[in-house]
């Protein structure tokens, strides 16, 4: 039996061959980078797919069935090549996203490799006298001033924003979500409760009361600190071979040489403060490998690098660093300092039986210096998730209570 061939990207018999090839190029390039900046790449990829679909539809707009046919064909090929996530409904959603948010400066936020791929597509389209992405967005969005892509917002945020028909309200919700660090649930609730319109119609002196009420009602939605700690942390860009003998100073230098990429991988809100930060006490001198500040959590984040499996001694050392930093460095208005032990491997016993299990400000995270396969990454994330729950007793209790609540009534 002959093996099934992958979905064709080019075919002389297919009038949409270039269109399908462009969509494949956009998705494959985005996926190769998605480990480093998942939210940014997903949003950019969906916007670019929407742009390319709109462009293709405009080429055949004289034919009533053209748009439906290219969506069907694109969905079939993309699903065959990349799996789920490209249904006809989802592709129409990407088209709507581009039409509503065409003013976003997506291309300025793209890594160089991605820009090169998009440039190739644009050069081909330019030769065919096709409009640029900005020119093709709907009329209302063409009147919008171009704005940078907001890295704080995920695709879920934009899906929620697309349900807001009023352009002014939609733009306000978008900007407020980014500046106030609303998670998806907070945004969804505020849209449903007409928060924008209530705030606009409230006299200036009474606006603080409306804001206070909103914050109180959405307090349960606010993110836990643990959501800002990536585990595992994919750091293939450091150029360090997994399993090779590497010193902590070599790893530290590699991080500093690729600081921008490291910050992107760390997640939202991180800013670099310093390396080997010195703390002097009456009895001794201490040096902390890397110090960051997270403006969303409003606290310093200490990173202790270990190019080996985590040990009990590492926990005690970080515990002391946290106390030292809070005593000598933390300023008024800062929340208590957080510590992350970034190691080549974690340890179930350390997670369960050390003070890591009770200290809510201390975390252990594993780094990988290569991009694993999807299957390996899924297993690694699940394993680190289990270890993380072992580290923090309160999460373990919450999980048990949740499981108990979900039991069928008859089994109770």
pLDDT reported for residue 192? 92
More confident residue, 374 or 300: 300
On the question of pLDDT at 393 being above 80, the answer is no
pLDDT reported for residue 184? 83
pLDDT reported for residue 412? 46
pLDDT reported for residue 12? 45
- What is the per-residue pLDDT across 317-346, written as a single tens digit (0 to 9) for each? 999 999 999 999 988 888 899 888 888 787
Which residues have CB under 8 Å from 352's CB, separation 6+?
390, 391
Strand partners, 39: none
On the question of pLDDT at 347 being above 50, the answer is yes
pLDDT reported for residue 226? 55
Tokens 């201490």 appear where? Answer: 286
Length of the chain, please? 412
Is the C-alpha dihedral spanning 42, 46, 47, 51 positive or negative? positive
Please tell me the distance from the alpha carbon of residue 361 to that of residue 356, in angstroms, as a whole number: 9
Q: Which of 73-77, 138-142, 256-260 has the highest mean pLDDT?
A: 73-77
Please tell me the distance from the alpha carbon of residue 67 to that of residue 278, in angstroms, as a whole number: 63
Please tell me the distance from the alpha carbon of residue 257 to that of residue 372, in angstroms, as a whole number: 22
Q: Which of 15-29, 37-51, 109-123, 274-288 has the highest mean pLDDT?
A: 274-288
Average pLDDT over residues 381-409: 55
On the question of pLDDT at 155 being above 80, the answer is yes
On the question of pLDDT at 139 being above 90, the answer is no
For the chain, the average pLDDT equals 76
Residue 381 confidence class, pLDDT cut points 50, 70, 90: low
Look up residue 220 and give its DSSP letter: G
Average pLDDT over residues 194-219: 88
Q: Which domains, ranges and CATH numbers included, belong to the chain?
A: 17-151 (no CATH), 226-400 (3.40.1350.10)
Average pLDDT over residues 7-28: 67
pLDDT reported for residue 175? 92
Average pLDDT over residues 232-247: 64
Look up residue 265 and give its DSSP letter: H
On the question of pLDDT at 305 being above 80, the answer is yes
On the question of pLDDT at 97 being above 70, the answer is yes
Q: Is the pTM of this model over 0.85?
A: no
More confident residue, 40 or 231: 40
pLDDT reported for residue 249? 82
CA-CA distances (angstroms) from residue 145 to 104, 139, 160?
9, 12, 22
Residue 409 confidence class, pLDDT cut points 50, 70, 90: very low
On the question of pLDDT at 135 being above 80, the answer is no
Tokens 């992350």 appear where? Answer: 340
- What is the per-residue pLDDT across 279-303, written as a single tens digit (0 to 9) for each? 999 889 999 998 989 877 788 999 8
On the question of pLDDT at 35 being above 50, the answer is no
pLDDT reported for residue 181? 78
User: Is residue 275 classed as helix, strand or coil in its secondary structure?
Assistant: strand
- Beta strand 270-280 pairing with 285-294: antiparallel
On the question of pLDDT at 58 being above 50, the answer is yes
Average pLDDT over residues 194-213: 90
Please tell me the distance from the alpha carbon of residue 39 to that of residue 37, in angstroms, as a whole number: 6
Please tell me the distance from the alpha carbon of residue 333 to that of residue 96, in angstroms, as a whole number: 43
pLDDT reported for residue 179? 83
């Amino acid at each position: 039996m002959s093996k099934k061939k992958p979905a064709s990207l080019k075919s002389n018999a297919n009038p949409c061959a270039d269109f399908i090839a462009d969509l494949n190029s956009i998705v494959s390039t985005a996926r190769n980078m998605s480990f480093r900046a998942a939210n940014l790449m997903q949003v950019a990829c969906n916007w670019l797919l929407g742009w390319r679909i709109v462009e293709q539809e405009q080429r055949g707009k004289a034919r009533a069935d053209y748009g439906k046919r290219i969506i069907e064909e694109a969905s079939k090929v993309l699903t065959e090549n990349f799996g789920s996530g490209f249904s006809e409904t989802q592709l129409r959603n990407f088209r709507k996203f581009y039409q509503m948010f065409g003013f976003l400066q997506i291309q300025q936020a793209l890594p160089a490799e991605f820009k090169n791929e998009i440039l190739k597509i644009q050069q081909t389209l330019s030769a065919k006298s096709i409009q640029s992405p900005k020119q093709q967005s709907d009329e209302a969005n063409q009147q919008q001033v171009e704005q940078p892509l907001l890295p704080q917002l995920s695709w879920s945020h934009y899906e929620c924003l697309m349900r807001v028909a009023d352009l002014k309200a939609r733009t306000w919700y978008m900007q407020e979500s980014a500046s106030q660090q609303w998670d998806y649930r907070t945004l969804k609730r505020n849209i449903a409760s007409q928060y924008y319109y209530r705030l606009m119609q409230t006299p200036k002196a009474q606006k603080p009361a409306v804001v206070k009420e909103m914050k109180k009602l959405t307090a349960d939605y606010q993110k836990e600190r643990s959501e800002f700690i990536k585990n595992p942390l994919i750091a293939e860009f450091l150029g360090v071979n997994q399993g090779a003998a590497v010193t902590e100073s070599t790893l530290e230098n590699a991080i500093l040489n690729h600081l921008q990429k490291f910050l992107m991988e760390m997640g939202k809100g991180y800013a670099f403060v310093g390396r080997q930060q010195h703390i002097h006490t009456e009895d001794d001198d201490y040096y902390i490998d890397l110090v960051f500040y997270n403006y969303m959590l409003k606290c310093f984040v200490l990173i202790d690098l270990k190019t080996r499996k985590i040990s009990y001694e590492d926990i005690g050392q970080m515990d002391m660093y946290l106390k030292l930093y809070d005593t000598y460095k933390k300023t008024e208005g800062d929340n208590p300092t957080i510590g992350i032990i970034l190691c080549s491997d974690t340890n179930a016993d350390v997670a369960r039986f050390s003070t890591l299990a009770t200290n809510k400000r201390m975390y252990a995270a594993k780094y990988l210096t290569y991009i694993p396969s999807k299957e390996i990454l899924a297993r690694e994330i699940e394993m680190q998730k289990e270890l993380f729950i072992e580290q923090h007793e309160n999460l373990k209790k919450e999980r048990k209570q949740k499981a108990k609540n979900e039991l069928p009534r008859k089994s109770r």
